[in-house]
Each structure stands twice: as C-alpha cells, then as structure tokens.
Amino acid sequence: GAGVSQTPSNKVTEKGKYVELRCDPISGHTALYWYRQSLGQGPEFLIYFQGTGAADDSGLPNDRFFAVRPEGSVSTLKIQRTERGDSAVYLCASSLIPGANVLTFGAGSRLTVL
Amino acid sequence: GQQLNQSPQSMFIQEGEDVSMNCTSSSIFNTWLWYKQDPGEGPVLLIALYKAGELTSNGRLTAQFGITRKDSFLNISASIPSDVGIYFCAGPISGGSNYKLTFGKGTLLTVNP
C-alpha cells in the first residue's frame, strides 16, 4: 500500500483480556518495527523484524508481549493478560533498507485497558 | 535508559514568528532525526542529519547536527497554523543498533493565527 496501515485504530479492552494489533507495511519494505508511545512521551522501541524473523525483540517489556510476521509482510503484535499499564499508542513502522533509521510510521493503534 | 532532553516542552507563538527548539543528550549520536507528529497520526520525518556540524534545510525548516554530536536544533521560520504539532528529536545512540531509535519527549508547538 501507499503507507503503513494499522488496525484497529482504537481498541478498548478490559484488564486480563488478550489483544491483537495488526500492521501492514509499505509494499516492498522488508524491515518492520514496533514502537510504543505512552501519553506525553516519545515512541519507545519494542521489536524489529527483518523478513519473517524477529532480529531484535529486546524492547518487549515482558513475556506477555509477542509479535509475529509469518510471511514477511503483515505483522501482528499480541498482548496477553493485558494490564492498565499497557495502555498506549502502538506504532508500526517500516523501511526499505533493513536496519535503517529512516522509518515511515503508521498512524498507530490506541490501546486502552480498563 | 538513555535520554534525549528536548526544550522547550511547549511553545505558544503567533503566526509568522520564527521558532527554535533543541535537543541535548549525554550520549553521542551518529544521526539526528527530527519528526513531527499531528494528533492521531504517527511521526513524520522532517529532516535527517548524518554528520557533525551539518546544517540542512527543508523548506522553512532548518536543523543542525551539533559539533559535539550530543545536540541538535530545529528552527522553523515564518510559522503558519499547520506547523502545530509535536516535534520530536530522535536518533540511534553511537555504538548501539542503527534501527533502535531513542526519542525525546517532544516539543508541543501551538501557532495562534
């Protein structure tokens, strides 16, 4: 597509529920990144995919967070047993050059955990 | 973790005025990036700087990569209402992974028509 597409744009869930957030990167971009932006803060790195594999997942806060990219295009960020502190905007980005620092971000998925 | 300190935190200016904001860190950066984020949108890259001392312009925007590699500034000339938004500096810390960006907390710019 023309840009990075993220769905849903907004998600409200209850504490303890499971959530999936989807990212469709720019066509042809092999590198995909997830960042998390809390209120009043800048984005923070979560995970980097090069192709189908997670090249760096060092930013995932704990084992409740997991991300996949099975066919090297669309990625899903999965959060188990959500907590109120997980409330944030989850941003996906992609880049044409693997490991580049010039990223194109999507509009984000705003997650609210009640 | 490493921090980027952006100042000011917020600015309220009149249309037509020039704006200056900056970003400092205790760590060395090899690249400085300036992003703008509109409400409900993701950050959009404005300017990328790759060399100490580099001065780069993009329309009414000018940014510089500090000589010490620990700071950068962004200037906006003749501000217009659509300049409203949050401006973030970001970059990969020297010695770290190139794709792992550290962002500042942002400068919120409000332009009064």
What tens digit of pLDDT does each residue of A10-52 get? 999 999 999 999 999 999 899 999 999 999 999 999 999 998 9
- Measured between alpha carbons, how far apart are the two ends of chain B, in Å? 39
Residue B109: per-residue pLDDT: 97
Residues of chain A whose beta carbon is less than 8 angstroms from a beta carbon of chain B are 4, 31, 33, 35, 40-45, 48, 56, 58-59, 91, 93, 95, 99-108
**Residue A8, preceding peptide bond in cis (omega within 30° of 0):** yes
Type and span of the H or E element at A104: strand A104-105
The two structure tokens encoding residue A49? 């995919």
Query: Model confidence at A98, in pLDDT bands (50, 70, 90)?
Result: confident
The two structure tokens encoding residue A95? 């880049």
User: In sequence order, what E strands does chain B have?
Assistant: 4-7, 10-14, 19-25, 32-37, 44-49, 55-58, 61-65, 71-76, 85-91, 102-103, 107-112
Which residue ranges in chain B fall short of pLDDT 50? none
B99–A contact, CB cutoff 8 A: yes
> Out of A45, A91, A108, whose CB is closest to B100?
A45
The residue among B22, B60, B42 whose CA lies nearest residue A42 is: B42
Per-position DSSP letters for A28-61, written without gaps between them: T--EEEEEEE-TTS--EEEEEEETTEEEE-TT--
Residue A16: per-residue pLDDT: 97
Instruction: With beta carbons under 8 A apart, name residues in chain A contacting B102.
Output: 45
Name the closest residue on chain A to residue B1, using Cα atoms.
Answer: A44
B60–A contact, CB cutoff 8 A: no
Residue with tokens 């984020």: B37
Query: Model confidence at A1, in pLDDT bands (50, 70, 90)?
Result: low
Contact yes or no for B41 and A107 at CB 8 A: yes
Contact yes or no for B105 and A41 at CB 8 A: yes
Best residue in A41, A101, A102, A104 for a mutation probing chain B (most B CBs within 10 Å): A101
Residue B92: per-residue pLDDT: 87
* Interatomic CA distance for residues B11 and A65, integer angstroms: 36
